Every structure is written in structure tokens, then in C-alpha cells.
Chains A and B, each alone.
Chain A
Amino acid sequence: MNLALVKPTMDGAASDVFAIARDRLPGKGPVAEVRQAAFEDFAQKGLPHRRVEEWKYTDLRVLLREVAPLAAPPDQAVLDRAKKTLASLDVNGAHRLVLVDGAFAPQLSDTTSEAGVAVQTLRAMLENADVAARADLLRTNVASDAMISLNSAMATDGAVIDVTENAAPGKPIHIVHVATQSKAAAFTRSLVKVANGARVTLIESFVGADGAAGYQAHDSVVLWAGDGADVQHIRLVEDARDAANIATAIVTLGERTQYRAFNLTSGGAVCRYQAFLRFGGQNAHADVNGVSLLNGRQHADNTLVLDHAVPNCTSNEVFRAVVDDQAHSVFQGRINVHPDAQKTDARMMTRALLLSDEAEADNKPELEIFADDVQCGHGATTGALDDSLLFYLRARGLPEKEAQALLIQAFVGEAMESIADETLRDVAIATAERWLAARG
């Protein structure tokens, strides 16, 4: 590879990561070329830092310092550890697809076929699909971003899911990422195509096996939802407390598509979830909601870019962050309303609750509106628990922590209510309850 492209600000370790791993990366020929170009883009940019506007609050050169080496392919011992971890998951009864250290694990996955759902692995596709199709698996249609490029260069595996027209699978599809190796990185990419009229729930979980420390999960999901499709997309980030989770979602919606996303971050030391959502057909609606529950020195960043590219679409974003100790929450919400996108109705509300003097929350709404007949609203608040509410509850007999817990639950409840599936809503609520109980 051409090392001259590596900027001096990189310590060289990042380029080694690719050089050392490349023989293990699936796909030859055009796939390898896409990887090479993607890596060169990453190498030129380096890890994003605070002078890159989109990463202003999440300086990976400080928080991540370097890209960890590619995790080894899982052996039987690793799979056994991963299996134990799966037993502790809250989500049950789903069509489970398990990725262990970035490799699809058929032994741990639900391989029964379900009507209307076809699942393949990214690795198999990269190695076997038609030449023309292969390289596209690693290409994206969003503006160049260093971490997407890194993911394109390094992706080892992922789920490639096709939901056929008008299908309504009875079970949610659950992609579970399990990390077992310390100080190693997994790079995954999943592609989900939901055909017209189909109705599906996609869940993603990120967890670490017992003893896995300081690992990095680099993930991306590319999702197409066709005309009239109804997609519920839930993310549960429960990584180890010293792990990093850098993830991208690229979502394209068709006409009359309903897309409801919810991202819950309670684990990880450094988390970045960046979602790029594009309305490609009229009369579609998107709810993009999330809750971050942070303490210690956790850093979680939710960055959303919604492109209202066509008229008559509506979007609603509701985010809540509960930030304790020295934790740091970041919310960046960008809404682009294109010149023709009349009758767009886009709303965004983000609120952060700071539970300590050292907790920090940054909210950055950005609205760029080029159409004149639209409704766009945004609001952002940051504050502590209301003393008058706390006193009222305590005067009714609730001890301080219980009073706080009740108010915190109410605070995150509004965002969680948007989870249509009751079982999944309960999973989110249970996570919040565990988090509150751990506060003691």
C-alpha cells in the first residue's frame, strides 16, 4: 500500500492495522480495490478530531487514540464464552443472528428459515457474489467520513438481510454483536433490504463477553425500506464499560414508509452513533428517538442527519440523556430540507439531565431549510432534577434516591414510549431500571 498517503498526524499504527489485516479481509479484485480506496481516504483524514465539525465534541484522537488491531477469528473457546453472554440478553424470541468478534457465528445463530426473510453473510457475499455486486456491498452513498471509510476498508462480516415484498415476519430480526477479545477491534457491516409493503422489526445489540476489556466495535448498517414498508429499528448498546462503539446507520426510505428508530446507550466508554437518513419518497414518516444513560467517565454521541429530499414527509426526533458523574453526552441533530421538499414537517427535541456538577451535555441542532412551505421545530434543554419536584416526592415519603429514580424514569419515559412493541419497550425500561438500581 501507499504509505505516503498517511498523514504525519497518524502514528502509523492505523496504517499497520490495515496492512496487517488485509490478507484476512474477505473479497478479492474489485472488493479489494474498494477497500484500498476506502482505507486511503481514512488514512488521509486520520481519526476524526475536534476540528472536524461533525466530530467536534467527540475527538477520537483523544478518546480512542488509535484503531485497535483486527480481532482474531473466533475459535471454539471464544464461541463458548460468547454463548454464555447470549444467555444474559433481555431480548428473547427473536430471529437471532450472532456476530462474534466481527465474524458470523452460525452455531449461535437462529438458522431456521422464516418466510419472507433471506439471510446471508457479508463474508460469503464478498467472496461469492457477482463481481459487479460485490464491491457495492462496501460502498455508501453518504458524504465521506473517516470512520465510514475505515469500516468499508476493514469490514469482515455482517448480516445481509432481504425481507421480501409484503412480508411480515412473525419474529423480530436480532443482530447481536458479541466482543470477546480485549484490545481488539471488530469491523462489521450489515445490509438490510426491506421490500415494498414489508413490515419488520430489526434489533441490534452490542455486548461484551465476561472479561472482554478495552475492545472496539466498529459497525455500520445500510438499510433500505421500500414503498409502504414499516420498519422498527431498535439499538441496544450495552458494551463493556471500557469499550468503544463507533457505529453508522445509513437509511433510505421510500414512499409512505414508516421508520421508527430507537437507540439506547447504556454501555461503552466511548460511543458514537451516527445515522444518516434520507427520505427518498413522499408521505413517509420517521421517528428517530433515543436515550443515553451515562455515568463514570462514559462518553456517548448521537449524531443524526435527516435529509428531507422530497415533499410531504414528516420526522420527529426525541432524545433524552441522563448524565451522572463525569460522563458526557453529545447530541447533534441536523435536518436538511431540500428546495423541493415542501410540506416537510420536521421536529426535534433533545433534553439532557445532569445529575452531577461534573456531568456534561452538548446539544447541537442544525437546521438547513431551502423550501419555504415547511414546518421545522427544534428545542434543546439541559438541566438538573427539579428541586421542587424532588421535595414534593420526599415530603410524600420517598427517600432521595427513590425520588430521583422516579423522576429519571419519567424523564426517559417520553422517549421510550415511542417504542411501539411492548416487549421491546419493556426491555428498554428494564435497562433503565437496572441502571437506576446500580446508582444505589
Chain B
Amino acid sequence: MSALLEVRNLQVRVEEREILHGLSLTVNKGEVHAIMGPNGSGKSTLSHVIAGKPGYEVTGGEILFKGEDLLEMSPDERAAKGVFLAFQYPVEIPGVATMTFLRTALNAQRKARGESEYSTPDFLKKVRAVAASLNIPQEMLRRGVNVGFSGGEKKRNEVLQMALFEPSLCILDEMDSGLDIDALRIAADGVNALRSSERAMVVITHYQRLLNYIVPDFVHVMSKGRVVKSGGKELALELEESGYAQFEDQAA
């Protein structure tokens, strides 16, 4: 069985600077991988390149998703295929009601997959159920996307979308940034509820703290655009003790 996500020797430039220098990562269905590393190690770049954000130039290597060349697909095609990036900083979209956005996005994905669009009552039922489990009031869904949302509400809105779109690969980019412990717990509970043998997660984080809530199967340490060490969940605790400095020497 082929891996869900296969990143091979990925090299990426932004403008004239190479950010990723040959990164490899294999993620199978059902696994939760944590990617840790200091600021500037290329963690977010990796998540952006997988999701298809413009502005990154892939100069070498490849990314296969379900055996297909991901880099050939537009961001919306990737989403329809099952890639979901939970943004570190979800954007505010004034004038686009959250409900409208959710329905448009879900139906666009279903249409791209050749599935029938959701009927309005089915859709509403589904959204309400998920929103309730995430403590998201109905009133929030009527507002513009993320407009006036607190940091925690924005992240919960990301988890809501994750639950609704049912992707096979979730990439959580610094989900803990800007969250207090209570907000973090609600968001993490939402994520844990979505763990399944059919779905993989890549959790990108600077701190070990998040991994107390979302316990990974594998931990990778990134430094200067490469994975410099991989291990089990205990690696995260080790890092908490010793810091990233040792790896920076290693990568250099």
C-alpha cells in the first residue's frame, strides 16, 4: 500500500532564498506526525507548499498524495482530493457570511469529486451538530468569515471546517499560537475527535505543549530546511528539556 503523503527530497525557494534543502517525509493513513523546530526552520513553508500557496518555487523533489503528483494540482484541486491546511492565521473575509462560505466550499469540493451537492437542510443539520460539539454559537456562523472572531474562535472555525470537509490529510500549522489553555483544549478535543484510521494529521508546532493534547505517533525535528531527527512521541519531551540548539549545530 502506498503512503498517503510522500515528500521526497523537496527543495523550495522563496524569491532567491532556498528554504527547504531536500526534505523527505512519509505519512501513512491513520498516523499523526508532529513537526517541530525553531522559527525559520521551514515548518510553515512545508505546510504552504503542500497546500499550494503561490509564491514558492519548487526547485527539486516531489510530493505525492495518494500516489498522485500534488505539485501539479491547483490549491482547490488539492482540497477536493482531501488536503486540508488549518491556517496559523486564518484570514478575515468581511461580507462573506460563514454559512455561505462553508456551503460554497463544501459543494465546490463535492462537485470536483463528482459527488452530488448537499441539500440545504442536510447541510444545516451537519453544520449545527459539528458547531455544537466545538462550542461555536450559531450567531458566529452568521457573521462574516472570522470577522470579529477571537484567536480561539478562529481556530475553532478551522476545526469546524476540518470536521465538515472530512479531509484525508489535515495539516495543522501552529494551531496553538495565540491560544490560552482553555481555547487550546477545546480546539485539540475537536481535532482528536477527527482522528481515524482513514485520516492522517501533520501537526506543526514550535512548542511541545500542544502535543500534550494532540499526542503524535511520530515526531520530526526540522532545522534549516531539513528533517534532522525523527522519533516517537518521547522525542518531543526530550526537546522540551534540551531545546533546539543541538540540532542547529547538526544541520549546519
Question: Would A398 and B76 count as touching, CB distance under 8 A?
Answer: yes
**Which chain B residues border A413 with CB–CB below 8 Å?**
95
- Check if B161 is an interface residue, CB within 8 A of chain A: yes
Question: Would B76 and A399 count as touching, CB distance under 8 A?
Answer: yes
The chain A residue with its CB closest to the CB of B89 is A388
| Interface SS majority for chain A | helix
A382-426 near B? 1/0 per residue, CB < 8 Å: 000011110111111111101100110111011000000000000
- In Å, the complex CA distance between A78 and B224 comes to 75
Which interface class (under 10, 10 to 19, 20 to 34, 35 or more) fits A?
20 to 34
- In Å, the complex CA distance between A389 and B53 comes to 11
Question: Would B87 and A394 count as touching, CB distance under 8 A?
Answer: no
Question: Would A391 and B95 count as touching, CB distance under 8 A?
Answer: no
Known contacts A391-B53, A402-B104, A406-B101; A397 and B95 CB within 8 A of each other: no
Question: Would A395 and B85 count as touching, CB distance under 8 A?
Answer: yes
- In Å, the complex CA distance between A400 and B165 comes to 19
The chain A residue with its CB closest to the CB of B95 is A410
Known contacts A392-B90, A395-B51, A399-B108; A414 and B75 CB within 8 A of each other: no
Question: Would A396 and B161 count as touching, CB distance under 8 A?
Answer: yes
Question: Would A398 and B108 count as touching, CB distance under 8 A?
Answer: yes
Q: Which of B53, B54, B76, B90 contacts A397 (CB 8 A)?
A: B76
- Check if B52 is an interface residue, CB within 8 A of chain A: yes
Q: Which of A392, A398, A410 contacts B87 (CB 8 A)?
A: A392
Question: Would B112 and A397 count as touching, CB distance under 8 A?
Answer: yes
The chain A residue with its CB closest to the CB of B107 is A397
**Which chain A residues border B104 with CB–CB below 8 Å?**
398, 402, 406
Question: Would A388 and B91 count as touching, CB distance under 8 A?
Answer: yes
Query: Would you give the shortest CB distance from A47 to chain B, in whole angstroms?
Result: 39
Q: Which of A389, A395, A414 contacts B79 (CB 8 A)?
A: A395
**Which chain A residues border B87 with CB–CB below 8 Å?**
392, 395
**Which chain B residues border A387 with CB–CB below 8 Å?**
54
- Check if B212 is an interface residue, CB within 8 A of chain A: no
Q: Which of B76, B93, B95 contacts A400 (CB 8 A)?
A: B76
Query: Would you give the shortest CB distance from A54 to chain B, in whole angstroms?
Result: 32
Which interface class (under 10, 10 to 19, 20 to 34, 35 or more) fits B?
20 to 34
- In Å, the complex CA distance between A399 and B76 comes to 6
B155-179 near A? 1/0 per residue, CB < 8 Å: 0000001000100000000000000
Question: Would B79 and A397 count as touching, CB distance under 8 A?
Answer: yes
- In Å, the complex CA distance between A182 and B118 comes to 48
Q: Which of A386, A394, A414 contacts B76 (CB 8 A)?
A: A394
- In Å, the complex CA distance between A403 and B79 comes to 13
Question: Would B85 and A389 count as touching, CB distance under 8 A?
Answer: no
Question: Would B95 and A414 count as touching, CB distance under 8 A?
Answer: yes
**Which chain A residues border B84 with CB–CB below 8 Å?**
395
Known contacts A394-B74, A396-B165, A398-B76; A410 and B94 CB within 8 A of each other: yes
Question: Would B108 and A391 count as touching, CB distance under 8 A?
Answer: no
- Check if B96 is an interface residue, CB within 8 A of chain A: yes
- Check if B28 is an interface residue, CB within 8 A of chain A: no
Question: Would B95 and A394 count as touching, CB distance under 8 A?
Answer: no
Known contacts A391-B54, A402-B108; A396 and B79 CB within 8 A of each other: yes
CB-based closest 4 A-B pairs: A410-B95, A397-B109, A397-B79, A394-B75
**15 other contacts beyond A392-B93, A409-B95, with CB at 8 A cut-off?**
A391-B53, A391-B75, A392-B87, A392-B91, A395-B84, A395-B85, A396-B161, A396-B165, A397-B80, A397-B105, A397-B165, A407-B93, A409-B96, A410-B95, A414-B94
10 pairs of residues in contact across A and B, judged by CB atoms under 8 Å: A386-B91, A391-B75, A395-B52, A395-B53, A397-B80, A397-B105, A397-B106, A406-B101, A410-B94, A410-B95
B interface, CB within 8 angstroms of A = 51-54, 74-76, 78-80, 84-85, 87, 90-91, 93-96, 100-101, 104-106, 108-109, 112, 144, 161, 165
A interface, CB within 8 angstroms of B = 386-389, 391-400, 402-403, 406-407, 409-411, 413-414
